[in-house]
Amino acid sequence: MTSIESLYLSGNNFTLVPSWFCNFEKLTHLDLSRNSLTSIPSWFVDFKRLVYLDLSRNGLIVGNLKSLVHLDLSFNELYGPIPEAFPNMTFIEFLDLSRNSLTSIPSRYDLEYLDLGYNHISGHLPTWLEKLENLKYLDFTSNYLHGPIPLSIGKLSKLHGLHLSNNIFEGLIPESIGQLVNLTNLHLSSNKFYGSIPQNLWKLTNLRYLDLSNNSFNGLIPESIGQLVNLTDLDLSSNKFHCSIPQNLGKLANLVYLDLSNNYFNGVIRESLCQLVTLHVLDISSNKLDGSIPESLGKLTNLDYLDLSNNNFNRFVLKSLCQLVNLFHLDVSSNMLDGTMSMEKGCHLNLHYLNLSHNQISGSLPKNISLISLSFSEGLFLGNNHLNGSIPISLCQIPLNSLDLSKNNLSGEIPNCWEDSLEILSEINLSSNKLTGAFPNSFGNLSALLWLHLNNNNLQGELPTSFRNLKQLLILDLGENQFSGSIPSSWTIDAFPLVQIIRLRQNMLNGSIPTQLCQLKSLKILDLSRNKLHGSIPRCIENLEGMKLTPSAPATSPILFAGAPSQGWSSQDAMEVVKGVELNYTKILKLVVHMDLSENNLVGVIPDEITFLTGLHGLSLSKNQLTGEIPQLI
């Protein structure tokens, strides 16, 4: 019998597992469900081959452990209400049931620690919690609790940690929260709280972590916030605060993390903010701040992350940050900044991410871009400015993930030197400049490339015939240039297995539409309009599976990514022209299936096979020399 691999003994009245079971060394499946077992033998761990074990519907309840003080059942698959036997554990002090699928709340414990985060608990916060006089830690993060926080919360005078984030709580924070004088952690983010923050909250001087983000709090942040001298993390982001940044924030000498983003803070950045020398993260993006970005921010030498984007700042000196050797993320995009990108000798930043896009920065790019960083592994975004001059070769010589120089006045040829970025460069946007010359051959070897936008320049020459390594490419936009010659027949499924958009609009291309394009089964937008193409529309277009309406491919669908695109990418990611109206498609907007072959010299009939492309939202064949009847099902 020792060779048994599967053993099914469910639906009996066994009360224990006999010790001789341990002889079943080859056992892989064991079903002891629906019995009366009350314990699990320790030698169960000797079943090295066991892959299936069913002990459901037994008496295996830890409620029999009446002397238990510490119980951690987190990260299991417990579900439903908490068993009634749990209240028998009268001595328990530490109870962690987080990250399960429980639907009820245990009661009648002399608890010091209660964690029910990440479950399915709904209803109001129970009033019996006030009886837990020794409670030091309470966590209901990520449940479905609603209603206001009860006034009785103030009775939990020993509480150190209160975590109620990501629920549906609403209303005002009760004044009684000011009675929790031992509180060090208060997390109320991602709820529906509103109104002003109670004044006595700012008197909780033991607070180290305060997170009120993603609610609808409004009003002022009082200068009394300066009393929270032990605070290390403060997050007030995504609310409706409408005031200036308090002067006394500068008194929070231990602050490491400060996020005031996505509010209505106005006025200037106060000099007192630049006294927070312990800061690692400062995010005041998406507010109404104006004036100059103070050069004294350069005193925050521990800063790793700085985001001042989407405000009304008008002056910024990049070289003022020379002392911030730890800074890896800098975003000052979407302001009104002027000036240049000049750097001083001896000033070396170590940025991995730099976003200066959507400003009024002028002048040329630094010839030695490595003065700003030796690696932009998370992206360099300078689009929508007034930059001129040529693209420096030094850009090719540092690791780049994403490069956006679009909508500037850059001229000259695109340097053909991108070999050092073969494995990480995933996004290139050089559109809407005055670039000339041929398509750089080294682009064809960028094996990680997802998006390539060179549209709206003065590029010329023939389209590249060899795209050996662009296996991940999703968007190829070469429209509005002066490319000539024919569309290469080498543009096949082997070259672009994932491509979803090809735009060659408004060039000087001739020849016929190659049948090899019909192999591109992921293609959703094809724009060959305003060229000099001739010949007939190939009947093989029925093979363009990406343009068909199927249950798995709706008429509008988001662009699918082989990797995670950068956050800072320009919103002008893909442009489609429908009946003379330019439509911009971004990573967020739905992608509409469209084909535009208008304004060419195409002849012959409109093939019936075009009616198989049932997902098409737009089809333009105007201004050609097509003849015959229009297909009935078009």
437: tokens are: 């010359």
- 109 and 31 within one domain: no
- 178 and 49 within one domain: no
β-strand partners of 459: 437
The pair phi, psi for residue 63, each rounded to 5°, is -65, -20
pTM: 0.85
What one-letter code names the amino acid at 366?
A: P
Residue 576: is its pLDDT beyond 90? no
Last residue in a domain, options 219, 240, 266:
219
Last residue in a domain, options 154, 186, 219:
219
Do the domain assignments include residue 150?
yes
Residue 581: is its pLDDT beyond 50? no
Do the domain assignments include residue 366?
no
pLDDT band at 579 (very low <50, low <70, confident <90, very high): very low
Residue 502: is its pLDDT beyond 60? yes
- 525 and 393 within one domain: yes
pLDDT band at 98 (very low <50, low <70, confident <90, very high): confident
Supply the DSSP symbol for 553.
B
- Measured CA to CA, the distance from residue 474 to residue 406 in angstroms comes to 19
SS3 state at 188: coil
Lowest mean pLDDT among 241-245, 265-269, 560-564: 560-564
Q: Percentage of the chain surpassing pLDDT 70? A: 84
Residue 588: is its pLDDT beyond 60? no
Lowest mean pLDDT among 39-43, 158-162, 281-285, 295-299: 39-43
- 77 and 33 within one domain: no
Radius of gyration for the alpha carbons in the chain, expressed in angstroms and rounded? 32
More confident residue, 97 or 215: 215
Burial class, 127, CB count within 10 angstroms (exposed 0-12 / middle 13-18 / buried 19+) = exposed
pLDDT band at 592 (very low <50, low <70, confident <90, very high): confident
- 548 and 583 within one domain: yes
For position 434, which CATH number holds? 3.80.10.10
- 607 and 471 within one domain: yes
pLDDT for the residue numbered 569: 37
- Measured CA to CA, the distance from residue 312 to residue 315 in angstroms comes to 10
More confident residue, 623 or 347: 623
Pairing of strands 362-364, 386-389: parallel
- 79 and 170 within one domain: yes
DSSP H stretches of helix in 405-460: none
Supply the DSSP symbol for 285.
-
Place of tokens 């082989």: 562
pLDDT band at 587 (very low <50, low <70, confident <90, very high): very low
Query: What is the average per-residue pLDDT within 143-148?
Result: 96
- 148 and 18 within one domain: no
Residue 399: is its pLDDT beyond 70? yes
More confident residue, 310 or 561: 310
pLDDT for the residue numbered 316: 86
pLDDT for the residue numbered 503: 97
Residue 568: is its pLDDT beyond 50? no
pLDDT band at 78 (very low <50, low <70, confident <90, very high): low
Task: Print burial letters for 322-356: b (CB count within 10 Å at least 16), e (below 16).
Answer: bebeebbbbbbbbbebeeebebeeeeebebbbbbb
Do the domain assignments include residue 177?
yes
The 10s digit of each residue's pLDDT in 200-212 is: 999 999 999 999 9
Which domain, by its residues, includes 209? 65-219
Q: Please give the full DSSP string across 129-187, using - where no structure is assigned.
A: GGG-TT--EEE--SSEEEEPPPGGGGG-TT--EEE--SSEEEEPPPGGGGG-TT--EEE
571: tokens are: 């919103």
Contact 159, 182 (CB under 8 A): yes
More confident residue, 66 or 115: 115
The 10s digit of each residue's pLDDT in 11-21 is: 888 777 777 77
pLDDT for the residue numbered 378: 85
Phi-psi region of 314 (alpha: psi -120 to 50; beta: other; left: phi over 0): alpha
Burial class, 119, CB count within 10 angstroms (exposed 0-12 / middle 13-18 / buried 19+) = buried
416: tokens are: 């053909």
DSSP H stretches of helix in 176-277: none
What one-letter code names the amino acid at 509?
A: L
Do the domain assignments include residue 361?
no
Query: What is the average per-residue pLDDT within 215-234?
Result: 96
Q: Using CA of residue 266, residue 267, residue 272, residue 274, what is the dihedral sign?
A: positive
Supply the DSSP symbol for 557.
E
The 10s digit of each residue's pLDDT in 438-466 is: 999 888 888 899 999 999 999 999 998 87
Do the domain assignments include residue 430?
yes
Beta-strand (E) ranges in 405-548? 409-413, 427-429, 434-437, 451-453, 458-462, 475-477, 482-485, 501-503, 508-509, 525-527, 534-535
The 10s digit of each residue's pLDDT in 425-441 is: 999 999 999 999 999 98
pLDDT for the residue numbered 60: 52
pLDDT for the residue numbered 142: 96
Do the domain assignments include residue 300?
no
Do the domain assignments include residue 550?
yes
Contact 533, 511 (CB under 8 A): yes
Query: What is the average per-residue pLDDT within 55-83?
Result: 63
pLDDT for the residue numbered 573: 46
pLDDT for the residue numbered 600: 98
Query: What is the average per-residue pLDDT within 36-42?
Result: 66
- 92 and 46 within one domain: no
pLDDT for the residue numbered 13: 82
The 10s digit of each residue's pLDDT in 303-332 is: 999 999 999 999 988 888 888 889 999 999
Please provide the size of the chain in residues. Answer: 634
Pairing of strands 581-585, 574-578: antiparallel
pLDDT for the residue numbered 105: 72
Last residue in a domain, options 185, 203, 219:
219
- Measured CA to CA, the distance from residue 253 to residue 234 in angstroms comes to 12
Query: What is the average per-residue pLDDT within 252-281?
Result: 96
CA angle 604, 479, 438 (to 5 degrees): 110
- Measured CA to CA, the distance from residue 398 to residue 353 in angstroms comes to 13
- 189 and 50 within one domain: no
Do the domain assignments include residue 563?
yes
pLDDT band at 554 (very low <50, low <70, confident <90, very high): low
- Measured CA to CA, the distance from residue 388 to residue 405 in angstroms comes to 10
Q: Minimal CA–CA distance to 483: which of 528, 526, 535, 429? A: 528
The pair phi, psi for residue 279, each rounded to 5°, is -60, 135
pLDDT for the residue numbered 467: 77
Contact 224, 249 (CB under 8 A): no
pLDDT for the residue numbered 632: 81
The neighbour count for residue 77, using CB atoms within 10 Å, is 7
pLDDT for the residue numbered 234: 98
Q: Which CA distances in Å does 352 have to 325, 328, 549?
A: 12, 5, 41
β-strand partners of 147: 169
pLDDT for the residue numbered 228: 97
- 442 and 584 within one domain: yes
606: tokens are: 């409109």
β-strand partners of 477: 453, 503
pLDDT band at 63 (very low <50, low <70, confident <90, very high): low
- Measured CA to CA, the distance from residue 297 to residue 475 in angstroms comes to 39
Average pLDDT, the chain: 86
In whole angstroms, what separates CA 261 from the centre of its chain? Answer: 16
DSSP H stretches of helix in 6-78: none
185: tokens are: 């952690």
pLDDT for the residue numbered 317: 83
Number of domains in the chain: 3
Supply the DSSP symbol for 220.
-
What is the longest distance spanned by two Cα atoms in the chain? 90
- 79 and 28 within one domain: no
pLDDT band at 591 (very low <50, low <70, confident <90, very high): low
Place of tokens 């090899």: 516
- Measured CA to CA, the distance from residue 214 to residue 237 in angstroms comes to 6
- Measured CA to CA, the distance from residue 355 to residue 329 in angstroms comes to 9
